[in-house]
Structure 1
Amino acid sequence: MAVVQGFAPMLAGALIVGVFVSILTGVESIGVCNGMTGDDLPPPRDVVQLYKSSGISNMRIYNPDSHVMEALRGSGIGLVLGVINGDIQGLAASQAFAASWVQTNVRPFYPDVKIMYIAVGNEVEDGVAQSILPAMQNLEGALAAAGLGGAIKVSTCVRLDVVTYSFPPSMGTFAKPYMAGIALFLATTGAPLLTNVYPYFAYKYSHGDISLNYALFLPGTTVRDAGNGLIYTNLFDAMVDSVYAALEKADAASVRVVVSESGWPSAGGTAASVQNAQTYVQNLIKHVGQGTPKRPGPLETYVFAMFNENQKSGELTERNFGLFYPSKSPDIVPKLYRGYGTSLLSSSLT
């Protein structure tokens, strides 16, 4: 099939949603990230309606978009509200800026919008990372001053590369010195550590050392961690438990992990296919209710992402993680369209 730039990836990515919708209802530990780096996305009210009609109870957004916040009023959808990386240093340097941020982005909406966490940055790198903790502290103080102390938890979203020696999982320890202070802060406030966990990328860059079945939650691989005696049958559990091991070594064993992103691309790179994306998302949703070998019990997890985002930079896979078509037009592939989004709710998913 000829590939029209920006269209074929959306078609492929949307095909996994039937599996997603069919098993999602009643799975309270699952949410979906609502990325907005695209020029063809539905309006926020339509997106919120699609979350509700699909039984998706939680949403993550990456910046405090007022249109999305208004659309969420009264929806009952739990929200992870993001602070853009560009605001972190300002928040760290100024309590007044933190107070203004809360008064602008939180106070007008809460509790009509069910804000659960504020995520101070996403996968922050370089020198800005040193500002994460003071920014978190200032936001925590601003929430308390606004009468919201304890009601909304303040955290940050990290990549798994903040952990070194992630295999075996029991060897996990924080590779970045600033993480020790963040971990202790979270332990003090009772907030979780938001962690982006992608078996896809670990598999892709493993040069054959990791099997595809192990990355997709499929049978065939069993790994025993000699450090703690636990048995691992999938890469996702091993990755999450390496973060728990790092938290323990940072004297923050009480901190729980929330998986703030996880997904599999449907096109654009190594092992990126509709079938693999279907398999990963379906198995992820089924699996997280039981937790990991180290921490059994429901593991709050956010699938990335609601839509393909045609303006994301980087490799083509970055634009192919969506569960739904962005377009509302019924003219492209009529049988696949339903309502404002696009879902394949039948044949090819069985």
Structure 2
Amino acid sequence: MATQKLVPSMVVDLLLQNGIPELKLFSPSQYVLPAFANSSIGVSVAFQENQLRWMNNSKDIHDWIEKYVKRHVDHGVDIRYLYVGNEPFSRKYKQRTFGDVLYFMGEARKSLDRHNLTHIKTTTAHFTDILTNVTKPSKGDFREDIKELMINLLKFLKETKAPLVINIFPIYLVGSKQMPLDFAFFDERSNYTIKDGPHIYKNIFTLTYDTLVSALTKAGYPDMQIIIGQIGWPTDGYPNANPKNAERFHRGLLRYLKRNEGTPLHPNKTMDVYITGLSDENKIITEWGEYQRHWGIYRHDGSPKYKIDFSMQDHNSEPTTAKGTVKMPNRWCMYNENIFNGSKEKVMEHVNYACSKSDCTLLSPGATCDNLNFTWNASFAFNMYFQMNGQKINYCDFNGYGYITTNDPSTATCRFPIEILSVELIDNGVIHQLVASSGEISKVVSNPTILPIGLALSALVCMILLLCVLMWLPG
């Protein structure tokens, strides 16, 4: 969900260069999936809830799977998981609990079997609010209002040998529970711990994970396979969301996974983990925070933001940069304070309009550009609108308040970005803008010999990195 879209083959190449063997796509684009054919990269695709609600019968589901799954598998795409909906029982969303998810999962499973795709597992991902009492694992359980739904879902997963997937977001959890920030990290710099019987918890991830284990045990599924569907750290748009903390979090996470120590309730367990996300998404909905647009390890242009070593060797270096991206000219749109003496209210009308049509999340409290003066604040808003509309001259007018410059206005802490040339595909004379699909990248460290040496970036600027490693994490 971004204005800047990378070529799909670029993404595949980037993934390969970095040794990332799996990717989760939230939207199975017909223009993206073919790039993964015969690439050795495992792919997960999602059957989105808005698509499911248009399905009238099992034939509709069968046809969708034939189009978006079987057709691509037949052409060499290694699809391993089909996610049906996303966080169906979460309270985050205003719509009602998506209780029909079990019906659709069952129909999807039947369709996959009929297409002879029995190897593809059918599951869905959950937010941590399916749990209660995430304070001491021994008290953990599923929410009462969804307990029956969860029991039925767990029964289905057990019967079909599919994993339970949970998304864990440490920066959100420690904030909502008013815990020390250091409790979100794995390097044990904090003296804050939680004791639960004989077990001591030193970070929010293991605490949350074992709360889920406890809930599963009470439900009668103590050995249910668990996958971390999303975990990561945003780099902007929120207090403590910055590249320094993101690097610290991921370095600690990967070290923890490599040690294969598991958790107090699941010791010595190999964990499969998807890191979210591959790159930023400047059009994603920010209802739950401006940081939602800044989960990426990569910027929109395919350049890395911080050091992270997907090989699990703890190298102190940045991942490779996407090859082949082309930036638009060095042109920025600025607020012309010298020519016009209009009121600030008038200027702010244009600023608010520009922000409503672009991405001004870097101006939010705690973000990297929240300390700009009025002129630079207006200029940042004008420039984002200008860049996200392909640097078209008329998008830097603002009734005469805007002008274009070739001098980079970026400050020491605030970067004024430039758009890259987005990919477009011509099909039968019709130009289709290549849709960026959210995704996640995975790393399988259980058997390092199967990890490809190289990886690359995709035409979907909003993918999320999945790391299947010797251990697993929170979301």
User: TM-score over 0.5 for the alignment?
Assistant: yes
Residue 59 of structure 2 corresponds to which residue in structure 1?
96
Equivalent position SS for 1:161: helix
Question: In structure 2, do the counterparts of structure 1 residues 134 and 341 end up closer, same or farther at CA, with 3 Å as the change threshold?
Answer: farther
Q: Which AA in structure 2 matches 1:324? A: Y
Question: In structure 2, do the counterparts of structure 1 residues 341 and 189 end up closer, same or farther at CA, with 3 Å as the change threshold?
Answer: farther
Question: Contact 1:44 / 1:68 at 8 angstroms: preserved in 2?
Answer: yes
Q: Which AA in structure 1 matches 2:204? A: L
Residue 324 of structure 1 corresponds to which residue in structure 2?
298
Deviations 1:212-261 (A, max 9, x none): 221111213332212xx322221111111211221222222232111010
Q: Which AA in structure 2 matches 1:131? A: D
Candidates 70, 76, 88, aligned match of 1:107: 70
Question: Contact 1:204 / 1:270 at 8 angstroms: preserved in 2?
Answer: no
Equivalent position SS for 2:45: strand
Question: In structure 2, do the counterparts of structure 1 residues 338 and 148 end up closer, same or farther at CA, with 3 Å as the change threshold?
Answer: closer
Matched, 1:42 2:6: yes
Question: Contact 2:175 / 2:181 at 8 angstroms: preserved in 1?
Answer: no
Question: Contact 2:49 / 2:84 at 8 angstroms: preserved in 1?
Answer: yes
Candidates 57, 74, 77, aligned match of 2:38: 74
Candidates 323, 330, 342, aligned match of 1:340: 323
Compare 49-58 and 238-247 and name the one that shifted more. Answer: 238-247
Candidates 162, 176, 179, aligned match of 2:150: 179
Candidates 293, 303, 306, aligned match of 2:278: 306
Question: Contact 1:327 / 1:341 at 8 angstroms: preserved in 2?
Answer: no
Equivalent position SS for 1:115: strand
Compare 271-280 and 118-127 and name the one that shifted more. Answer: 118-127
Question: In structure 2, do the counterparts of structure 1 residues 237 and 328 end up closer, same or farther at CA, with 3 Å as the change threshold?
Answer: closer
Question: Contact 2:230 / 2:275 at 8 angstroms: preserved in 1?
Answer: yes
Question: Contact 1:272 / 1:317 at 8 angstroms: preserved in 2?
Answer: yes
Deviations 1:15-57 (A, max 9, x none): xxxxxxxxxxxxxxxxxxxxxx101121211111111111111
Deviations 1:48-103 (A, max 9, x none): 11111111111111021122210111111111211112123455x52212211211
The sequence identity of aligned pairs, in percent, is 26
**Structure 1-normalised TM-score?**
0.79
Distance 1:339 1:173 in 2: 43
Distance 2:227 2:180 in 1: 25
Q: Which AA in structure 2 matches 1:196? A: N
Distance 1:115 1:56 in 2: 15
Residue 124 of structure 2 corresponds to which residue in structure 1?
156
Distance 1:129 1:241 in 2: 25
Structure having the larger proportion of residues in helix: 1
Matched, 1:53 2:10: no
Question: Contact 1:42 / 1:340 at 8 angstroms: preserved in 2?
Answer: no
Question: Contact 1:120 / 1:136 at 8 angstroms: preserved in 2?
Answer: yes
Question: Contact 2:232 / 2:277 at 8 angstroms: preserved in 1?
Answer: yes
Superposition deviation, residue 128 in structure 1: 5.0
Question: In structure 2, do the counterparts of structure 1 residues 328 and 87 end up closer, same or farther at CA, with 3 Å as the change threshold?
Answer: closer
Distance 1:170 1:47 in 2: 43
Question: In structure 2, do the counterparts of structure 1 residues 288 and 319 end up closer, same or farther at CA, with 3 Å as the change threshold?
Answer: same
Question: Contact 1:174 / 1:180 at 8 angstroms: preserved in 2?
Answer: no
Q: Which AA in structure 2 matches 1:108? A: R
Aligned length: 295
Distance 1:187 1:312 in 2: 34
Residue 252 of structure 1 corresponds to which residue in structure 2?
221
Matches within 5 A, 1:232-271: 232-271=201-240
Question: Contact 1:39 / 1:311 at 8 angstroms: preserved in 2?
Answer: yes
Superposition deviation, residue 168 in structure 1: 0.6
Residue 136 of structure 1 corresponds to which residue in structure 2?
105
Q: Which AA in structure 1 matches 2:65? A: V
Question: In structure 2, do the counterparts of structure 1 residues 307 and 339 end up closer, same or farther at CA, with 3 Å as the change threshold?
Answer: closer
Aligned Cα root-mean-square deviation (Å):
2.1
Equivalent position SS for 2:46: strand
Equivalent position SS for 1:105: helix
Question: In structure 2, do the counterparts of structure 1 residues 336 and 309 end up closer, same or farther at CA, with 3 Å as the change threshold?
Answer: same
Matched, 1:199 2:174: no
Question: In structure 2, do the counterparts of structure 1 residues 337 and 147 end up closer, same or farther at CA, with 3 Å as the change threshold?
Answer: closer
